[in-house]
Amino acid sequence: MPFVTPMTMIDFFRKSEGVWFTHRTVHHFDAVRDESGESKLYVDVITLDDSRVKAICETQSISPATVKSGASFRWQAHEDDGEPNPDSAAVLIDVPDDQTGRCGKLLRNQGYVEKVPVVSRYWFGDDGILTIDTEYDRNQGQERCWFITDDFRVRVSTVRMMNGVYMMTYCSERRYLTEKVLAQMVQRNLSRG
């Protein structure tokens, strides 16, 4: 099957669903700490009747009828094999601007930079790159993400804080082969016969 670049948030969520191995490089311009390393990212598409959709919409005074899709994101250290910590999680709700679905708002139960409910703006460029801009109380963030293949994607982000300190992050992510996914792949190959 040929590779198709996602151009709407629901397609992006669906292509992202699963577990990802993330290798990240973080550069703090204040050189205070190094958060570079490896982690796992769990992405699950959620249904519109999920109770979190209504709860997040209520916190932002947005009608749940305008929501088109949603996903939950959980992350943990790569070497950790337990369930991800619920504090290392976020739910994103897609409210597109129009029928094309190529731009709109992302409602989050908590932001990445500041752990507060937040509304981000997103858009897909003609090249398939997803850009997400977020204005927090004291910070500004921009994340860009794109798929190279169905099983490999890249994310880059910048954070600008009120005091002028910047942080930049580069992440390469490949689909993580769990035992279940590997067994499904083997079964598909055996069925080709």
Superfamily of domain 9-191: Calycin beta-barrel core domain (2.40.128.20)
For the CA atoms of the chain, what is the radius of gyration? 17
What is the b/e burial string over 138-158, where b = at least 16 CB atoms within 10 angstroms of the residue's CB?
Answer: ebebebebbbeeeeebebbbe
**pLDDT values of the chain reduced to their tens digit, one per residue, 193 residues:** 688 999 999 999 999 999 999 999 988 877 666 678 899 999 999 999 999 999 999 999 999 999 999 999 988 766 767 675 666 689 999 999 999 999 999 999 876 656 678 999 999 999 999 999 998 888 899 999 999 999 999 999 998 887 776 889 999 999 987 777 788 878 888 888 7
